[in-house]
């Protein structure tokens, strides 16, 4: 699956050399570095547009995403000789594709952000515990992540969906479980590197409690690579959700999820190709925008990893 | 060891000769891998189609019809008021050889006994091989129907029934009653590999099995000595291609000559293409929307009738079936004998439906569950899309439908248990007898776990259903069935949605294919014009 | 070093145990009865249902089923598929070569194009070529593979007629008995003229689709690790000594830059198999990915269990091998862990 590989990219490059970060950079410095990366700025602009679409969907979209225009089933888009009434045409049930794509942004971003939020939280909790307690806890957590890691991500996600049933919410759960290991591993590795440093030994010596030590001292210092990983995680989650939607195991009808829209329309790939092409394009554009922004974040937060 | 190697070389060489440029190879793009090659233990059309070239039955459906004619039995006598049938077997019929088995004797009564007894007798040595699941044999109620099967001599089989049943011959023409080689079975049992029996088919059919690679290809070569209608091509190849778009593309490039199940969306383009030929026929099937007659408000006839008027079925047939279907008003399709065309149809009238609901004391907005089929079926091209259209129509009469589905096995089980309040379902005929449809609304099937999904039990209807089974005069039976269709219309246990139209697409050079109302794909008598 | 390797090998044992447990439990939690699911619209009587349960051991207590499962796994028995009645291991082994062939070809395409492309981008840093390549790379790993596959089929196969739509070889022209299961090898062995070329022709598009993602990642990885290496002192020294740029880049820099790339390749095995599921579905490629998905939909417990076990074992063993290989190439890693 594309996602996991993207995640691999970040984790493998970040793992061997723990980062040195005395202080989090301030925003102005961050922005001046971020601005240098033209791709990232472009990505951020596109991403902002997608986010705006998602937030203001009900104002921007010309129609309701579920309204069926029975007299305009599979109307072609404007550039294929269609009317301006349906700019991007309509789908197999006569629903306006533009409206569905706009509302779909909401669904996809929601999935991406929820997965990122959930798996980072779990990642912090498990990763820090493994690093701090070591021994049995570490082994148990590491084995768990190893097993999840060994299963091809899509197969595992499908297996989970098969157990808990397909729905938008369950998609989030399944993908969270699939992506959790990369967060746990990253957090564990950076935390272990931090724990061996002098300042931690010093803090321990003056009697700082374990919870406080982990959360207020170690965690902030491991955060930079983690944020980069999380940013990339959003795009991976969106791709994975689209893959599940494509197999009919994601959000259920009439939810306008992009992957499901694509799968629903697959039979029209020859006769009315735009119904298939447009949702795919929406996925690609959004995911590229997030990945470019993620690159910029990496440059700005993590000077060692800069693209030079 | 050595000799078998030489035999194998010879076999391969023979193949090479037969696949030389002059040989005619017919490639059929099929939709999936067969579970195995013994129809008795399967229940999907895919597996039946894959094994059918290799086999024959005692009696057979004439190609392209539901009419039962002679097969491995040349003729049969029915005596004892329909309770005894004597089958006179065809002489000189050879089984096809395979790579490691060469038959030494012709087909005879032992093969018939083997094929039926394997499914019937739990102590039969082959009964438990490959799972021992004989769905069709049991579904057709054979264990309760059969009294005895005996071999009178090598070419006569006498079958005794517990009571006369008019549908037995049609049952025996179905794939589960395929005749396999008893000699081959013994040979494998001695060799210690009986499960191979269901993987490499040895039969008397028009084609001889050559090889099978899962998810890729099945190869057959013509049986030039076939007793019946001769195969006209030298090789028959099943190219397993699950995606309909890929099948279509392969058909266009000539990688295959015939494809199963074209997508309705592709049909207009296919029909315009001069290199292709598209034929169609109404399918022997029905799609319906069942109301649970035991649960309010659907225990009221008026409510059920109102829901029948609430759905714009014409729109569904136009936009989901894409024209590949006809609106249904009876349980049986119009092509089946006893179809009652005088039964009126419910019109699409949301205003009247709304009024009837109010009259029946139903308060709107009403919340109901609408279960939709998770998989494509011959009678239902897209359960989800149909459900989404129904949902929109129902909203117009003040009904909020929540869409629900389950994995197919689970879905069916819950429907049979009477769980959903409304659900999509359908049926495909097995043997061309109306009883094979009408039993779906009989009281016996209305039990929990039974096939009567609306759980509707009407005494008058049920009595006629049972009576019709004992009559041998088709006109008498038809009269009963026509009356039953009137009752069903009035009582409206469900909404009849559609009978699909089945399309077959092939390259223009294919000739002689006859479309089967039973959805069978048979390639004897099919030729390629060069 | 020997101790590290030993430790690494021992550590995979609990992973396998956990894997057996998880596959067993997960599959039991799946709703839908494995016997019911095979029944058509016709239904089945309760007595016969009970009989099949007994035959499949589904009436035993769950812990006993688990012990039974582990015991049989240890004896190389991965169960019998419910839908085909064949041993799961045999099904897996007949389908796996197709997946392996596809994945291998995909990886080969990714490496052959990705490494030089990335290396050139590093050398010509900041050029238009560099920018275009990086843009293409981001696009590559942002691509939903199912959509990409459909798009390419639509263009290459249907519109331009350049590649076959699906399948592994032309079934009308060529026929030979499978010997190894690898179509390329079988075609080469068959001495039928043109068979090998035709098999390659069939393999090209699906391999490219599956290879797109690793290609994007490898190009990017090569570029960034190459940039790092080019900044190292010994490369600068080599340049100062007046060695030709080709020798510097081609021999010294690229060789050292390959170390992280090798790791990425190893770690991509899981991702590759995930991608193979969708690629095989779209191209009707008869491999294990498609088989596994179908088993899930069919509730074929034994096939699913055995298949997941086998595929995961492959992934575990490959990453074990990569780890060991990596520790041999780069001794630093052993102490860092």
The secondary structure of B332-354, three-state, reads: CCCCCCCCCCCCCCCCCCHHHHH
Residue A80 or residue B88, greater confidence: B88
Quickly state the pLDDT bin for C73 (edges 50, 70, 90): confident
The dihedral region occupied by B197, where left means phi > 0, alpha psi between -120 and 50, and beta the remainder, is: alpha
In tens, the pLDDT along A152-163 reads: 888 888 888 877
CB C214 within 8 A of CB A5: yes
Q: Is the peptide bond before A29 cis (omega within 30 degrees of 0)?
A: no
Show the DSSP H helices in B292-373 as ranges: 301-310, 313-319, 350-359
Q: Is C297 within 8 Å of B407 when comparing Cβ atoms? A: yes
Widest CA span of chain B, in angstroms?
A: 85
Tell me the two tokens of residue A289.
Answer: 């925008």
Spell out which residues of chain A touch residue C313, defining contact as CB-CB under 8 Å. Answer: 150
Number of C-beta neighbours around residue B64 at 10 A = 16
DSSP H or E run through B245: helix B244-253
- Most B CBs within 10 Å, among A159, A265, A271, to test the B interface: A271
Residue C166 or residue C1, greater confidence: C166
Spell out which residues of chain C touch residue A292, defining contact as CB-CB under 8 Å. Answer: 138
Least confident of A57-61, A219-223, C248-252: C248-252
Is A252 within 8 Å of chain B by CB? yes
Q: What is the mean pLDDT of chain A?
A: 81
The count of residues in chain B is: 530
Tell me the two tokens of residue C152.
Answer: 């390419």
Amino acid A303: pLDDT: 56
* Average pLDDT score over residue span B218-244: 92
- How far apart are the CA of A4 and the nearest CA of chain C, in angstroms? 6
Tell me the two tokens of residue B333.
Answer: 């399709």
Token pair 């399309």 in the structure block, residue: B503
In chain C, what are the domain boundaries?
2-74, 90-298
Cα–Cα distance, A144 to B277 (Å, whole number): 57
CB A40 within 8 A of CB A292: yes
Tell if the pTM clears 0.90, that is, is over it: no
Amino acid B54: pLDDT: 96
Cα–Cα distance, B396 to B411 (Å, whole number): 27
* Cα atoms in the Cβ-side hemisphere of radius 13 Å centred on A10: 30
Q: What is the mean pLDDT of chain C?
A: 81
* Average pLDDT score over residue span A126-145: 86
Residue C196 or residue B290, greater confidence: B290
Tell me the two tokens of residue B118.
Answer: 């394997």
Q: Is C166 within 8 Å of B198 when comparing Cβ atoms? A: no
Among residues B179, B110, B168, B169, the alpha carbon closest in space to that of B141 is found at B168
Among residues C312, C268, C315, C254, the alpha carbon closest in space to that of C110 is found at C268
DSSP H or E run through B158: strand B156-161
Q: What is the percent of chain B with per-residue pLDDT over 90, rounded to a whole number?
A: 59
Chains that touch C (3 or more CB pairs under 8 A): A, B
For residue B375, give the chain A residue with the closest CA: A248
CB A102 within 8 A of CB A59: no
Q: Is A288 within 8 Å of C270 when comparing Cβ atoms? A: no
* Average pLDDT score over residue span B106-126: 94
- Sequence-ordered list of residues with C-beta below 8 angstroms from that of B507, at least 6 positions apart, any chain: B251, B254, B257, B258, B275, B276, B277
- How far apart are the CA of A125 and the nearest CA of chain C, in angstroms? 21
Output the domain CATH number for residue A122: 1.10.3720
Among residues B61, B37, B48, B177, the alpha carbon closest in space to that of B120 is found at B177
Q: What is the DSSP letter of B90?
A: P
Q: Is residue A274 part of a domain?
A: no
Cα–Cα distance, B255 to C284 (Å, whole number): 14
Q: Is residue A289 part of a domain?
A: no
3-class secondary structure, B400: strand
Q: Is B349 exposed, middle or buried (0-12, 13-18, 19+ CB in 10 A)?
A: middle
DSSP H or E run through B428: strand B422-428
Q: Is residue A242 part of a domain?
A: yes
Q: Is B407 within 8 Å of C291 when comparing Cβ atoms? A: no
For residue A145, give the chain C residue with the closest CA: C15
3-class secondary structure, B267: helix
* Average pLDDT score over residue span A125-150: 85
What phi and psi values does residue B446 have, to the nearest 5 degrees?
A: -85, -5
Spell out which residues of chain B touch residue C46, defining contact as CB-CB under 8 Å. Answer: 449
Q: Is residue A130 part of a domain?
A: yes
3-class secondary structure, A7: helix
Q: Cα–chain-centroid distance for residue B22? A: 36
* Average pLDDT score over residue span B334-363: 92
Q: Is B459 exposed, middle or buried (0-12, 13-18, 19+ CB in 10 A)?
A: exposed
**Angle, vertex CA A45, rays to CA A42 and CA A47, nearest 5:** 105
Cα–Cα distance, B380 to B486 (Å, whole number): 25
Number of C-beta neighbours around residue B345 at 10 A = 13
Amino acid A2: pLDDT: 37
What phi and psi values does residue B279 have, to the nearest 5 degrees?
A: -120, 160
Tell me the two tokens of residue B87.
Answer: 């089958």
Quickly state the pLDDT bin for B233 (edges 50, 70, 90): very high
* Average pLDDT score over residue span B363-376: 87
CB B204 within 8 A of CB B187: no
**Angle, vertex CA B158, rays to CA B152 and CA B160, nearest 5:** 140
CB B150 within 8 A of CB B112: no
- Most C CBs within 10 Å, among A134, A154, A158, to test the C interface: A154
**CA A301, A305, A307, A308 torsion: positive or negative?**
positive
Domain that holds residue A214: 52-261
CB C309 within 8 A of CB C73: yes
Chains that touch A (3 or more CB pairs under 8 A): B, C
Q: What is the percent of chain B with per-residue pLDDT over 70, rounded to a whole number?
A: 95
Amino acid C31: pLDDT: 65
Least confident of A33-37, B82-86, C198-202: A33-37
* Average pLDDT score over residue span B11-21: 45
Beta-sheet pairing, B68-70 with B59-61: antiparallel
Residue A14 or residue A142, greater confidence: A142
3-class secondary structure, B31: coil
Beta-sheet pairing, B494-507 with B285-291: antiparallel
Helix, strand, coil shares of chain A as percentages rounded to 5? 75, 0, 25
Q: Cα–chain-centroid distance for residue B47? A: 11
**Angle, vertex CA B162, rays to CA B157 and CA B164, nearest 5:** 85
Token pair 């929540």 in the structure block, residue: B402
Number of C-beta neighbours around residue B520 at 10 A = 16
Spell out which residues of chain A touch residue B323, defining contact as CB-CB under 8 Å. Answer: none
Quickly state the pLDDT bin for A12 (edges 50, 70, 90): very low
- How far apart are the CA of B29 and the nearest CA of chain A, in angstroms? 17
Number of separate domains in chain A: 1
- How far apart are the CA of B183 and the nearest CA of chain C, in angstroms? 22
Tell me the two tokens of residue A45.
Answer: 């602009």
* Average pLDDT score over residue span B387-401: 92
In tens, the pLDDT along B284-319 reads: 999 999 999 998 899 999 999 999 999 999 999 998
**E strands, B343-435, where?**
366-371, 399-404, 422-428
CATH of the domain spanning C90-298: 1.10.3720.10
Among residues A166, A53, A174, the alpha carbon closest in space to that of A106 is found at A53
Helices A168-195 and A153-164: angle between axes, nearest 10 degrees: 130
Q: Compute CA distances B315 → A95, B92, B282, B350, C200, whole Å.
A: 14, 56, 19, 14, 47
Q: Compute CA distances A153 → B340, B415, C329, whole Å.
A: 55, 33, 29
ipTM associated with this complex:
0.80
Is B319 within 8 Å of chain A by CB? yes
Q: Is residue A213 part of a domain?
A: yes
Amino acid A21: pLDDT: 46
């Amino acid at each position: 699956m594309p996602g996991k590989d993207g995640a691999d990219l970040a984790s493998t490059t970040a793992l061997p050399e723990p980062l040195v970060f005395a202080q989090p950079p301030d925003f102005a410095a961050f922005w001046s570095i971020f601005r240098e990366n033209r791709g990232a700025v472009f990505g951020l602009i596109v991403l902002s547009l997608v986010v705006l679409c998602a937030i203001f969907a009900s104002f921007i979209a010309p129609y309701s995403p579920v309204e069926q225009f029975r007299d305009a089933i599979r109307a072609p888009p404007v550039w294929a000789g269609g009317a301006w009434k349906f700019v991007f045409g309509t789908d197999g049930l006569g629903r306006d594709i533009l409206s569905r794509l706009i509302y779909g942004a909401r669904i996809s971003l929601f999935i991406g952000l929820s997965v990122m939020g959930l798996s980072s939280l779990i990642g912090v909790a498990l990763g820090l515990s493994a690093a701090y307690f070591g021994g049995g806890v570490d082994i148990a957590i590491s084995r768990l992540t190893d097993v999840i890691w060994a299963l091809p991500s899509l197969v595992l996600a499908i297996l989970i969906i098969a157990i808990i049933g397909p729905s938008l919410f369950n998609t989030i759960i399944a993908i969270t479980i699939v992506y959790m290991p990369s967060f746990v591993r990253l957090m564990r590795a950076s935390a272990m590197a931090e724990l061996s440093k002098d300042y931690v030994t010093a803090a321990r010596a003056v009697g700082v409690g374990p919870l406080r030590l982990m959360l207020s001292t170690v965690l902030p210092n491991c955060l930079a690579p983690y944020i980069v990983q999380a940013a990339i995680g959003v795009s991976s989650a969106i791709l994975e959700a689209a893959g599940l939607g494509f197999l009919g195991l994601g959000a259920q009808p009439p939810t306008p999820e992009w992957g499901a829209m694509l799968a629903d329309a697959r039979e029209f790939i020859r006769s009315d190709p735009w119904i298939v092409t447009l949702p795919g394009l929406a996925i690609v554009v959004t995911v590229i925008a997030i990945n470019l922004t993620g690159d910029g974040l990496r440059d700005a937060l993590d000077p060692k990893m800069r693209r030079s | 060891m050595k000799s078998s190697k030489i035999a194998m070389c010879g076999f391969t060489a023979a193949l090479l000769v037969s696949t030389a440029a002059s040989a005619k190879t017919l490639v059929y793009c099929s939709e999936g891998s067969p579970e195995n090659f013994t129809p008795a233990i399967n229940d999907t059309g895919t597996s039946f189609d894959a094994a059918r070239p290799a086999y024959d039955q005692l009696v057979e459906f004439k190609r392209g019809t539901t009419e039962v004619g002679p097969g491995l039995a040349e003729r049969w006598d029915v005596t004892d008021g329909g309770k005894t049938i004597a089958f006179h077997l065809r002489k000189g019929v050879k089984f096809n050889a395979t790579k490691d088995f060469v038959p030494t004797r012709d087909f005879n009564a032992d093969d018939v006994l083997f094929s039926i007894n394997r499914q019937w007798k739990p102590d039969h040595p082959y009964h438990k091989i490959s799972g021992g699941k004989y769905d069709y044999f049991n579904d057709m109620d054979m264990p309760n129907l059969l009294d005895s099967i005996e071999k009178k001599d090598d070419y006569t089989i006498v079958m005794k029934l517990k009571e006369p049943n008019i549908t037995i011959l049609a049952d025996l023409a179905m794939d589960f009653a395929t005749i396999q080689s008893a000699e081959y079975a013994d040979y494998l049992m001695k060799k210690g590999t009986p499960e191979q029996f269901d993987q490499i088919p040895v039969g008397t059919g028009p084609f001889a099995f050559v090889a099978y690679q899962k998810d890729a290809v099945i190869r057959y070569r013509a049986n030039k000595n076939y007793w019946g209608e001769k195969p006209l091509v030298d090789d028959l190849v099943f190219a397993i291609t699950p995606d309909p778009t890929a099948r279509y593309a392969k058909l266009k490039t000539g990688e295959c000559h015939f494809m199963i199940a074209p997508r309705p969306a592709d049909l207009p383009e296919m029909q315009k293409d001069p290199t292709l030929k598209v034929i169609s026929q109404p399918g022997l099937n029905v799609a319906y929307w069942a109301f649970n007659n035991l649960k309010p408000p659907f225990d009221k006839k008026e409510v059920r009738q109102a829901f029948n008027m609430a759905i714009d079925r014409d729109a569904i047939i136009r936009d989901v079936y894409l024209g590949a279907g006809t609106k249904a008003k009876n349980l049986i399709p119009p092509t089946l004998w006893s179809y009652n065309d005088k039964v009126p149809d419910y019109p699409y009238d949301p205003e009247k439906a709304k009024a009837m609901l109010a009259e029946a004391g139903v308060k709107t907005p009403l919340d109901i569950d609408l279960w939709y089929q998770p998989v494509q079926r011959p009678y239902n091209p897209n359960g989800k899309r149909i459900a989404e259209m129904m949902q929109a129509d129902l909203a117009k009469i003040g009904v909020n439908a929540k869409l629900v589905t389950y994995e197919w096995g689970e879905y069916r089980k819950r429907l049979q248990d009477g769980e959903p309040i409304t659900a999509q379902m359908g049926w495909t005929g097995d043997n061309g007898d109306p009883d094979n449809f009408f039993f779906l609304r009989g009281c016996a099937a209305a039990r929990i776990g039974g096939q009567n999904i609306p759980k509707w039990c009407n005494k008058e209807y049920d009595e006629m259903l049972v009576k019709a089974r004992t009559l041998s005069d088709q006109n008498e039976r038809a009269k009963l069935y026509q009356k039953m269709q009137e009752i069903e219309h009035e009582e409206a246990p469900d909404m009849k949605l559609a009978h699909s139209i089945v399309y077959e697409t092939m390259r223009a050079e294919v000739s002689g294919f006859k479309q089967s109302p039973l959805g069978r794909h048979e390639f004897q008598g099919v030729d390629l014009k060069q | 070093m020997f101790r590290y390797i030993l430790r690494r090998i021992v550590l995979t044992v609990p992973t396998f145990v956990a894997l057996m447990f998880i596959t067993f439990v997960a599959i039991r939690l799946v709703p839908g009865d494995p016997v019911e699911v095979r029944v058509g619209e016709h239904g089945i009587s309760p007595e016969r249902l009970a009989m099949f349960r007994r035959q499949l051991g589904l009436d035993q207590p769950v812990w006993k089923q688990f012990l039974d499962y582990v015991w049989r796994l240890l004896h190389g028995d991965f169960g019998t598929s419910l839908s085909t009645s064949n041993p799961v291991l045999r099904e897996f082994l007949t389908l796996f070569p197709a997946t392996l062939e596809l994945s291998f070809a995909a990886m080969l395409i990714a490496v052959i194009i990705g490494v030089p492309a990335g290396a050139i981008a590093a050398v010509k840093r900041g050029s238009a070529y560099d920018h275009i390549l990086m843009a293409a790379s981001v696009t590559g790993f942002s691509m939903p593979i199912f959509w990409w596959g459909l798009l390419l089929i639509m263009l290459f196969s249907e519109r331009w007629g350049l590649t076959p739509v699906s399948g592994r070889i032309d079934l009308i022209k060529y026929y030979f008995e499978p010997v190894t299961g690898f179509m390329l090898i079988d075609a080469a062995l068959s001495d039928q003229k043109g068979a090998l070329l035709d098999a390659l022709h069939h393999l090209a598009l699906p391999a490219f689709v599956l290879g797109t993602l690793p290609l994007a990642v490898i190009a990017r990885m090569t570029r960034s690790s190459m940039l790092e290496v080019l900044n190292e002192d010994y490369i600068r020294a080599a340049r100062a000594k007046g060695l030709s740029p080709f020798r510097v880049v081609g021999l010294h820099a690229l060789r050292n830059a390959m170390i992280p790339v090798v790791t990425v390749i190893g770690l991509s095995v899981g991702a590759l198999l995930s991608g193979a599921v969708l690629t095989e579905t779209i191209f009707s490629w008869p491999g294990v990915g498609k088989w596994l998905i179908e088993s899930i939909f069919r509730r074929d417990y034994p096939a699913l269990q055995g298949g997941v076990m086998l595929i995961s074992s492959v992934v575990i063993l490959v990453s074990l091998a990569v780890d060991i290989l990596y520790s041999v190439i780069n001794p630093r890693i052993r102490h860092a862990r």
